[in-house]
Chains A and B, each alone.
Chain A
Amino acid sequence: MKFIRTILDKIEPIFDKGGFLEKFHPVYEATDTILFSTNEKTESGPHIRDSIDNKRVMILVVIALIPLYIFGAINIGWQAASVSGIERSVLENFWIGMGSIFPILMTALVAGGFWEVLFAVVRKHSINEGFLVTWALIPLIMPPTIPLWQVALATSFGVVIGKEIFGGVGMNIFNPALVARAFIFFAYPSQISGDKVWVNVDGISGATALSIPAAVENGNAVELLSNITRFDYSWSNMFWGYIPGSIGETNKFLIILGALFLMYTGIVNWRVIVGALIGLLGTATLTNILSSYSSNTMLTLPAHYHLVMGGFLFGVAFMATEPVTGAHTDKGRWIYGFMIGLLTVIIRSINPAYPEGTMLAILLMNAFAPLIDYYVVQGNISQRLKRYAAE
């Protein structure tokens, strides 16, 4: 690897102050520090530092997402094959799926990278490794059939409006990847609203699992799902992910694995996830109890079905847990997580317009996270002031 180091050292003066490409120093720095660990030293204070840095934090999230890409590719191929009635090997399915995923991935990289570099150059800050996560997340929450120009537009919107106008990673209010999805969700509802499924074969469409019970009144959700013949919407199949959907959100097993990995490493806070699970299961149980008073079929959908349907687990595992946009206090994280679970069920069941609620629930709670923190911190303050006043 020495020759790479030598090349980097050799071209460094071009990007330094007074060099020909001085303005593009952030690009050099990003390449340099991604390839090689930094040689920055401590100045004072703690003279030694933990090995963890933001690059490691971000790259571990990306590593947790890789299995979802692999399964996503296989599933795209498999879905296309099964509706056309063809038998293909897993590897063939994978390559066919990659044919859909790769252009989306590259489009997101080019579009997002462009804005990252532009902002870094203009505002003279370094390119943040947080973009790695945004980039890895965006394709996973897109349907495989999405037009590439929409991916480019959505990524641009997510990076610029979701992050850069606030000052970059660490200062953003909303999860940039989710902002990207929300953008096309509202701008181009015909492609992504979530009531039609996406299979990579022309002319094939059907209802997503969530929109089936939402469309019928006075029915039983589980019965309706089992009546579908085009896709297998049984609980176990939805858990193992052989259903049409966005690229990365179908296989719940791999999502749980990724979430456990991130919780173990200490990067993701388990309180958000546990809070969200309690919120979802609790609220769904409540709607089940209340379902006999209403003609809304969604209310009959059992809690464990809510869990494996739509993007709930994916959103909670990888997007709600984003440390910057979520609540920053432990008490706040419980509330924040719980409310995401609760709102997901409410939006899914009671809102007639959107069959899927996780995205909106997370974005809404992103907006409320500072408020939750405010009250938690005020609680701490008033406890302290009470102690100060005593004695």
Chain B
Amino acid sequence: MSQVKIKKGHDIQIAGVPKKELEIPGQSQTVAIHPTDFRYIKPKLLVKEGDNVKIGTPLFFDKRNPDINWASPGAGKVAAIHYGPRRVIEKMIIEIDKDEESVELPVLDTAQILESPKEKITEQILNAGLWPMIRQRPFNKVANPSTSPSSIFVSCFNSAPLTVDLDVALRNRQSSFRAGIAVLSRLTDGDVHVSVGENSISETFMDIPHAKTHSISGPHPAGNVGIQIYHIDPLKPGKIIWTVEAQHVVTLGGLFLKGVFDPSIVMTIGGPAVNKPTHFKTRIGTAIQPLIKDRLNDGPNRFISGDVLTGKTNDKDGYVSFYHSGVSVLPESDEREFLSMLKPGSSNSRYSLTNAFWSFRRSLFPFTTSKNGEERAMVPINSWENVLPMDIFPNPLFRAILANDVEEMEQLGLLECDEEDFALCSFADASKIDVGAVIRQGLDVLEAEG
């Protein structure tokens, strides 16, 4: 096991940390899938409103790569298809039947998986509609099944605030997880890299066969797979690396061991507006409503699918996004404090990465959605550099993207970056610039260039 120590970064001391216990929420009557969660695809529907579907029935496919389709995470009736501006399919809602049926596929045990050629494994995942669980870097998009990745990364360490503790989530899931790793090992000629948090005590992650294990330590974003790739097997132009969420590895393993798509997943509910934050056993694409029932503080709140740094704003009646495994709830704030810029600050009202505020108490901080300032021109006081554990100059990169200088973007290492790795830069910035959005803008340009 190799050791990777990340020094730069920051663990945000936000209140509402999920309890390390698994609870079962009231069952969601509906589930949903958002085609907008997947970058650079052109979805084409395979079902219409009112159709009956099983778990695993393909709902839509990508016109650009028709082999890739998306499995239904529930069995029942397609209740609604929501369109956004310009007829973009925003979400498909499925009403769940009492008795759910699943699409059945061949069963393979671990030994058979290891003997199967890459094509057979790929075919089974594509047929099951679970290929979108495999994403590729650069660009962090759904992988192209006809390419061959140099290696595959699985991060079993979540460092972002209020996210799932994978020790809790993967308890007693060892056999499916290992089968999933075996599946991935067939998809690449290189290594499968599994990174585990230094303090993990889970048996699931001990001595994993067919993978290289790395022990990761350090503050967020140490758990981001992009940061781990940078430190273990860095990207370069032309090189492709695939990544899979740890819980999706279990789903993929289960797909082969049982022959069916088991959409169950562990999620968290957390944040300063949640009074009983915890881990839940629920399913992919669950409705938010059953998770937050009887757990919220009063007041206007913001519901976020995913974590508070990279998640998407959602609403109370919304659904969790495909790659997200948590709901964060923040109080919305319009409070305007008198002469706040002169206040010395206390832990009740102030929180900063700089030492520009002083307080004696150190407690978890109830963040709100306040921007805490207005957007301004860049004043480079190193707030980006201090939280970015990569040898990349964020400031020149940011400028190159704004100037639309494709060559310089590549030379400054944009292909090794993803917006989620820059979320902390936006968090820490005194000028309130959204760095991650600009990084994505640059990646979009490079992706379009091909």
Residues of A within 8 A of B (CB): 1, 4-5, 33-57, 59-60, 126, 128, 130, 167-171, 264-267, 269, 323-324, 328-330, 373, 377, 380-381, 383-385, 387-388, 391
Give the docked Cα–Cα distance between A329 and B354 (Å): 18
**Contact A41:B369 (CB < 8 A) given known A36-B337, A46-B426, A52-B352:** yes
Contacting pair A269 B12 (CB below 8 A): no
Which of A37, A56, A330 contacts B430, CB < 8 Å? A56
**Contact A52:B354 (CB < 8 A) given known A46-B423, A329-B393:** yes
Q: Is B412 an interface residue (CB 8 A)?
A: yes
Residue-wise, chain B 269-311 has the 8 Å CB interface mask toward A (1 for contact) of 0000000000000000000000000000000001010001111
- Tell me the minimal C-beta distance from B17 to chain A in angstroms: 14
**What residue in chain B is nearest A167 (Cβ atoms)?**
B377
B308 proximity list for chain A (CB < 8 A): 46-48
Contacting pair B371 A54 (CB below 8 A): no
Q: Is B355 an interface residue (CB 8 A)?
A: yes
Which of B338, B345, B374, B395 contacts A40, CB < 8 Å? B374
Interface residues of B in 401-434 (CB under 8 A from A): 411-413, 423-424, 426-432, 434
A328 proximity list for chain B (CB < 8 A): 380, 395-396
Q: Is B61 an interface residue (CB 8 A)?
A: no
Give the docked Cα–Cα distance between A387 and B415 (Å): 14
Residue-wise, chain B 66-82 has the 8 Å CB interface mask toward A (1 for contact) of 00000000000000000
**What residue in chain A is nearest B14 (Cβ atoms)?**
A48
Q: Is B95 an interface residue (CB 8 A)?
A: no
Contacting pair B379 A48 (CB below 8 A): no
- Tell me the minimal C-beta distance from A273 to chain B in angstroms: 14
**Contact A38:B371 (CB < 8 A) given known A52-B353, A170-B379, A388-B236:** yes
Which of B312, B336, B337 contacts A44, CB < 8 Å? B312
* Chain A to chain B contacts (Cβ below 8 Å), 19 pairs: A36-B340, A41-B369, A46-B308, A46-B426, A48-B14, A48-B308, A49-B426, A49-B427, A50-B430, A51-B345, A51-B357, A54-B373, A57-B379, A266-B354, A266-B355, A267-B356, A267-B381, A380-B392, A387-B236
**What residue in chain A is nearest B313 (Cβ atoms)?**
A44
- Tell me the minimal C-beta distance from B112 to chain A in angstroms: 34
**Contact A34:B341 (CB < 8 A) given known A46-B423, A48-B369, A387-B234:** yes
Which of A36, A47, A128 contacts B369, CB < 8 Å? A47
**Contact A56:B336 (CB < 8 A) given known A38-B373, A169-B377, A324-B380:** no
A126 proximity list for chain B (CB < 8 A): 374
Q: Is B391 an interface residue (CB 8 A)?
A: yes
Give the docked Cα–Cα distance between A125 and B429 (Å): 20
Closest 6 interchain pairs by CB? A53-B373, A170-B377, A37-B340, A266-B354, A1-B338, A48-B367
Give the docked Cα–Cα distance between A153 and B220 (Å): 50
- Tell me the minimal C-beta distance from A167 to chain B in angstroms: 8
**What residue in chain A is nearest B391 (Cβ atoms)?**
A380
Contacting pair A330 B411 (CB below 8 A): no
Q: Is B445 an interface residue (CB 8 A)?
A: no
**What residue in chain A is nearest B373 (Cβ atoms)?**
A53
A380 proximity list for chain B (CB < 8 A): 391-393, 412
Q: Is B449 an interface residue (CB 8 A)?
A: no
Contacting pair B432 A48 (CB below 8 A): no
Contacting pair B369 A53 (CB below 8 A): no
Give the docked Cα–Cα distance between A330 and B396 (Å): 13
**Contact A41:B382 (CB < 8 A) given known A49-B432, A50-B427:** no
Give the docked Cα–Cα distance between A266 and B382 (Å): 9
Give the docked Cα–Cα distance between A8 and B279 (Å): 46
Q: Is B163 an interface residue (CB 8 A)?
A: no
B312 proximity list for chain A (CB < 8 A): 44
Contacting pair B341 A37 (CB below 8 A): yes
Q: Is B385 an interface residue (CB 8 A)?
A: yes
Contacting pair A323 B376 (CB below 8 A): no
Contacting pair A385 B376 (CB below 8 A): no
B245 proximity list for chain A (CB < 8 A): none
- Tell me the minimal C-beta distance from B344 to chain A in angstroms: 10
Which of A36, A55, A385 contacts B336, CB < 8 Å? A36
Give the docked Cα–Cα distance between A43 and B385 (Å): 23
Q: Is B201 an interface residue (CB 8 A)?
A: no
Give the docked Cα–Cα distance between A31 and B309 (Å): 31
- Tell me the minimal C-beta distance from B270 to chain A in angstroms: 12
Give the docked Cα–Cα distance between A373 and B412 (Å): 13
Q: Is B335 an interface residue (CB 8 A)?
A: yes
Contacting pair A168 B355 (CB below 8 A): no
B389 proximity list for chain A (CB < 8 A): none
Q: Is B111 an interface residue (CB 8 A)?
A: no
Contacting pair A59 B341 (CB below 8 A): yes
**Contact A41:B332 (CB < 8 A) given known A47-B369, A53-B373, A267-B356:** yes
Contacting pair B356 A52 (CB below 8 A): yes
Contacting pair A37 B377 (CB below 8 A): no
